[in-house]
Amino acid sequence: MVRSSPFRSIRATRSLATAYSFGSSLHGALGVEDYADGEEYMVSSPVLAEVDVAFCGWGHSLYLKREEEASGRRQLYITGKPHEFQSLLRMNRLPTAVATALSWFHKFGGGGSNEEDGLEKSFQSLTPERIQFEGIEVSDICAASAGLTAIVSTTGELYTFGVNNFGQCGIGENSNNVWEPTKVLGLHSENPEPVPERSLNQGRKEEMAKLGNEGRIVSVGLGLQHGAAVNDLGDVYSWGKGERGQLGLWPEGGNTCYASKVRLERGRGRDKRVKIEKVECGINHTAALSSCRRAVYIWGKFMGPAEAEVLGVDGADKTKAVEEEGRATDAFFSHKFEFEQDIKNMKSSSHQTAVLLQDNSVWAKGILKNGGGLTEYDFVKVVQFETDRSVELYGGHNLVLVVDGKEAYYVELQAPEIEIDEQGHEIATSSSFRPVDFLPEGFDGKIVGVQTGWRHGVVLIDDTVLPDGKTKTKLN
């Protein structure tokens, strides 16, 4: 059985739940057949009952149902288009009427899998379709992104499928698409030092495959065109596109088609041996939570302006100085951020990373939502809740806070209204913390999970708690 971890993207926090979707139906990812008209919807019709965990990509969703708790196996269901990325971007730019017509064509023109095992090249499904992969028992550790999916087996092995033109599947080569789950190569410390490569020769592929994994994979994250994973030894690996520093492997950037170990000791703090428990990916950045739960390591695009410290530039000229120097090399190495209390959870969205601390305070850093600039180097305090309240932090395309299972809020750092408290800490104003727009008026369910994709999302709702403590959901 895969080793237990306290962190799971949108795991039902108490028991099984009913999955509801929201957002745009344009890409067919909502999982409700009647919602393929190009319109946007709040949480309304149920998608799937007895769901344990769910994940959202850009145009598809994954739902996992428990098969046997003792075995760790899950039944995998997919909605939408798991192998599509560029076509989604094109559809998004079309006039509404044309895009809607295409959505209806997909509804009646098919898609779906006609194979007993695996996915067809044309796979698409407007409703949850169960997928089984020969020889792979799926665990509850998965991730989804822009036409890209990662699944971890019950034996701790990592597989990917989807778009692979930058090596983001990590299988040792670049290609237009990987149609079936394929093992990620390079997840072993005995592999050679990483170098940017588009393709491995057959000999090196066989050598890496023979080494296999060093330890079981316990956490995986996917960015726009890169991935990262953590094993149960505390090592973190990355692969795919690295031009913005999101791989944390080289000072000059570059892409790689296989996984390589990230040397965190090269970043700030210069730790000799850093053990990582969890990894999260934004579009062009990666965040790793240390096993001591007092530190977060971040590398990638939004670390760039820290290069200005090397240049000796202060104040408003920082960004300009970095741009004039060209590549912001400080983005290509990990930066350590320490906290004075335990981190309950860490999540990343497209352009920001946030942590929920033991005292129920939420801190974040990243690219500002409304200004296009960046926060200062350190994390910014967004909000503080009373310690007796239940607070959960969720990620995906957006960061979402759920309070007491009833209230849900977006965390979106806004510019330029950053204030300083009495201790000298930066505090985001209320504009960085606002109610979500996907819950209907009068919503009375109990939220036990949220995951957001590019233009859609999934909410797990636990409606009824029975006297024996088990959960049974209502579909009406």
Q: How far apart are CA 177 and CA 175, in angstroms?
A: 5
Q: What amino acid is encoded at 9 in this protein?
A: S
Rounded to whole angstroms, how far apart are CA atoms 327 and 361?
A: 34
Please give the C-alpha separations between residue 216 and each of 143, 156, 187, 431, in angstroms, as whole numbers: 16, 4, 10, 41
Specify the pLDDT at position 462. 87
Lowest average pLDDT, out of 62-76, 259-273, 408-422, goes to 259-273
Residue 322 pLDDT exceeds 50? no
**Would you kindly state where each structural domain of the chain is located, as residue ranges?**
145-348
Q: In this structure, which topology does domain 145-348 adopt according to CATH?
A: Methylamine Dehydrogenase; Chain H (2.130.10)
pLDDT above 60: residue 117 = no
The pLDDT > 70 percentage for the chain reads 73
Do residues 392 and 399 lie in contact, with contact meaning Cβ atoms separated by under 8 Å? no
Q: Which two tokens stand for residue 358?
A: 């033991």
User: CB under 8 Å, gap of 24 or more: what pairs does 61-67 form?
Assistant: 61/21, 61/29, 61/31, 61/144, 61/453, 61/456, 61/458, 62/142, 62/144, 62/149, 63/19, 63/31, 63/128, 63/458, 64/138, 64/140, 64/142, 65/16, 66/16
Q: What is the mean pLDDT of residues 366-372?
A: 69
What's the mean pLDDT in 312-331? Answer: 45
pLDDT for residue 326 = 40
Q: Which helix (H) or strand (E) holds 211?
A: helix 202-211
Of 50-64, 234-248, 405-419, 435-449, which range is least confident?
405-419
pLDDT cut 90: percent of the chain above it: 46
Digit-coded pLDDT (tens) for 246-274: 999 877 678 999 999 998 864 444 445 78
**pLDDT above 80 for 128:** yes
Cα distances (angstroms) measured from residue 364 to each of 219, 264, 304, 320 = 21, 21, 16, 24
pLDDT at 98 over 80: no
Q: Would you say residue 225 has pLDDT above 80?
A: yes
Higher pLDDT, 45 or 242: 242
- Residues 165-218 pLDDT 10s: 999 999 999 999 999 999 999 999 887 777 777 788 888 888 888 888 899 999
Query: Bigger pLDDT: 329 or 447?
Result: 447
pLDDT given for residue 370 in this prediction = 60
Distance separating alpha carbons of residues 427 and 35, to the nearest angstrom: 40
